[in-house]
Amino acid sequence: MKPAEVSQPVESGGSVYLLRVNAVHAATVPEFDEVESIVRDEYLSRGREAALAEKLVELWQAADIRFNPRLMDKLAVTTGAYPYQVDVTETLTTGEYPWRKEQ
């Protein structure tokens, strides 16, 4: 498409959109020196996040966590959220929401 052109209708997510090109710019790739610090910071951050996730799994597996049944019963009455169990290992590795009903 060229500047000022409008697309045909585009359907996405149950809606219809019209796209208009305002301007066209040539793609550029920055020099490594320009992005080196950003790349290094992201690389180190991801390494720290992975190490933290591993340590959390280790701590959860070693933990002795007990729930007060009376408090859990109150929770069930007020929210309907009981019984639930948490699989922290699965949560940390999949990123899924940790609560699920027992079967």
pLDDT digits over 22-60, tens only?
Answer: 999 999 999 999 999 999 999 998 888 888 888 888 888
Q: Give the domain ranges of the chain.
A: 10-101
Compute the average pLDDT of residues 74-87: 55
C-alpha 81, offset from chain centre: 23
Q: Please state the pTM of the whole predicted model.
A: 0.35
Tell me what the pLDDT averaged over the chain comes to: 77
Binned at pLDDT 50, 70 and 90, residue 80 comes out as low
CA distances from 85 to 16, 45, 74, 80, 88 (A): 42, 30, 16, 14, 9
